[in-house]
Amino acid sequence: LIQAYKLAEDERVLMPVMVNSDGFVLSHTLSTFDYLEPEEVDKFLPPYSPPHWVMDTKNPVSHGNIVFPESYQEFRYMMHEATLNAGKVYEEVEKDYKKIFGKYFGGPIDCYMCDDAEVVFTSQGSMGAEAKDAITELREEGYKVGNARIRMIRPFPTKQIRELASRVKAFASFDRGLSYGFGGPVANDIRATLYHTDHRPMVKSYIGGLGGRDMTVTDIKEVILDTVNAVESGTLGPEETWHDLMEL
């Protein structure tokens, strides 16, 4: 959350930042956490001085929420460019945070045991912790698998996904969200990201854990092994797979 302020206030961005958290898993459960003292935060996040829209009687300007057709397209282009800039700025923010607090969260994608992985499980949010345990257990069983915890959705970490894709055989993309009528949002983002590359590994899409339904280490291992089997058989299977869906 503290990083979000520094990202949003950077003059190369100046866009709202939305910090997402898992519904129910985090909003309706208890856990210990580390907090930062206000003095520490002030070192990282100095007082904000808006560059453009401070009210100044000597230099009056007007601000409206309407953009007319002759300017609307260019306005949207500027927003698009600012969003792309946010990806680069975020990596700088992470490094600054590490210098002061000694913690680094991995940037747009936090990879675990991905260096020699043949199958990479993609996770988001709190499921990343269980995913690491699942990967550790599968590694002990002899499977070359890894976990890529996606921490930024927009801009989508295209560069990092393509770099991973250049050396893996498949992605097991697990979505705890749903784009009605089109499936898993992250899975489809990965597929779109790989369209303009020469190397397109298999992308298996899984949907589950909706509404805070528990996703255990065993569940994650089942998903990963299903993708491993798909790679070994050379059969992609269904366009999407719903995990733990009760009979209706």
Structure confidence at residue 53 (pLDDT)? 67
Q: What share of the chain is helix, strand, coil (3-state, %, to 5)?
A: 40, 10, 45
| 119 and 85 within one domain | no
Q: Domain ends where: 80, 101, 122?
A: 101
Q: Count how many domains the chain has.
A: 2
Structure confidence at residue 20 (pLDDT)? 87
Structure tokens belonging to residue 157:
């970490």
Structure confidence at residue 63 (pLDDT)? 72
| 124 and 82 within one domain | no
| 225 and 173 within one domain | yes
| 95 and 180 within one domain | no
173 occurs within a structural domain? yes
Structure confidence at residue 62 (pLDDT)? 72
| 120 and 95 within one domain | no
Domain of 115, in residue numbers: 109-242
Q: Domain ends where: 101, 126, 159?
A: 101
34 occurs within a structural domain? yes
Q: Which of 244, 194, 236 is nearest to 215 (CA)?
A: 244
Q: How far apart are CA 109 and CA 113, in angstroms?
A: 13
| 116 and 36 within one domain | no
- Mapped onto helix, strand or coil, the DSSP state of residue 213 is coil
Q: Domain ends where: 66, 83, 101?
A: 101
Structure confidence at residue 216 (pLDDT)? 93
| 44 and 142 within one domain | no
Structure confidence at residue 97 (pLDDT)? 93
| 115 and 225 within one domain | yes
176 occurs within a structural domain? yes
pLDDT in tens, the chain (248 residues): 899 999 999 999 999 999 988 877 777 777 777 888 888 898 899 888 887 667 778 887 777 778 889 989 999 999 999 999 999 999 999 999 999 898 888 889 999 999 999 999 999 988 888 999 999 999 999 999 999 999 999 999 999 999 999 999 999 999 999 999 999 999 999 999 999 999 899 999 999 999 888 899 999 999 999 999 999 999 999 999 999 898 88
145 sits in the region (left: phi over 0; alpha: psi -120 to 50; else beta) called beta
**pTM, whole model, 2 decimals?**
0.88
248 occurs within a structural domain? no
| 70 and 132 within one domain | no
Task: Give the sheet arrangement for strand 170-175, strand by strand.
Answer: 109-112, 145-150, 119-123, 170-175, 202-207, 241-242
